Amino acid sequence: QVQLVESGGGVVQPGRSLRLSCAASGFTFNTYGIYWVRQAPGKGLEWVAVISYDGHNQYYADSVKGRFTISRDNSKNTLYLQMSSLRSEDTAVYYCAKGSGSYLTPFDHWGRGALVTVSS
Amino acid sequence: EIVLTQSPDFQSVTPKEKVTITCRASQSIGSSLHWYQQKPDQSPKLLIKYASQSLSGVPSRFSGSGSGTDFTLTINGLEAEDAATYYCHQSSSLPITFGQGTRLEIK
């Protein structure tokens, strides 16, 4: 069965960096686009970034562009989100989500999420 | 950016009722519209893809319709376990966007 397990969340001071990981299993990782979606406390869903199946293409929401970097290691079936210059408004649960195809598709599986709290 | 507007924001309903949630896109997105259910303290779950395609394991009381800019999620015969927040999502173009969510409370 498909599993996505996020890790690396925690409390970080404003301006600092943090890297999230998402370990995938149960499917052929290198054939699907993978996404990061976040949810601030008590708020709705916000798309953060997407990476193509081969890692060659990455796209970001304007709110994180230039500060966050999405990457993947297909040999390790793992997705990453490097977050820098963190702000209080980045506080959220960060989900990795599997696309149902290679690019711009529905998200057919989600991880349980990793909580990132940006606070001094 | 394509803006998705859901209505209503909140609805309190009784079991066995028929519930309709709408999602309106700010420009045409064809059928690239998907619906998710999120229960408290859980991650979202895909309910309907491409406006009206049902998914294995999703109860048949959930159905979707629409194309272009107007879409509907219908729950026929609401059950207590359907208490959740429902989101629409468009994959027509970047940036990917979600509706603001519709919270369903069961009376």
Residues on A contacting B at a C-beta cutoff of 8 Å: 35, 44-47, 50, 59, 61-62, 95, 100, 104-108, 110-113
Positions of chain B with pLDDT lower than 50, given as ranges: none
What's the farthest any 2 CA atoms get from each other in chain B? 38
Instruction: Enumerate the residues of chain A whose CB falls inside 8 A of the CB of residue B89.
Output: 45, 106-107
**Nearest-CA distance B37 → chain A (Å):** 12
Contact B95/A46, CB-based, under 8 Å?
Answer: no
Identify which of A46, A62, A106 has the shortest CB distance to residue B49.
A106
CB proximity B100 to A under 8 Å: yes
Positions of chain A with pLDDT lower than 70, given as ranges: none
**Three-class HEC string of chain A:** CCEEEEECCEEECCCCCEEEEEEEECCCHHHCCEEEEEECCCCCEEEEEEECCCCCCEEECCCCCCCEEEEEECCCCEEEEEECCCCHHHCEEEEEEEECCCCCCCEEEECCCEEEEECC
Q: Rounded CA gap, A15 and A13, in Å?
A: 6
Contact B93/A104, CB-based, under 8 Å?
Answer: yes
Closest by CA to B42, choosing from A92, A7, A93, A55, is A93
**Nearest-CA distance B96 → chain A (Å):** 6
Contact A104/B91, CB-based, under 8 Å?
Answer: yes
Task: Supply the pLDDT for residue A102.
Answer: 78
Task: Supply the pLDDT for residue A86.
Answer: 98
Contact A61/B91, CB-based, under 8 Å?
Answer: no
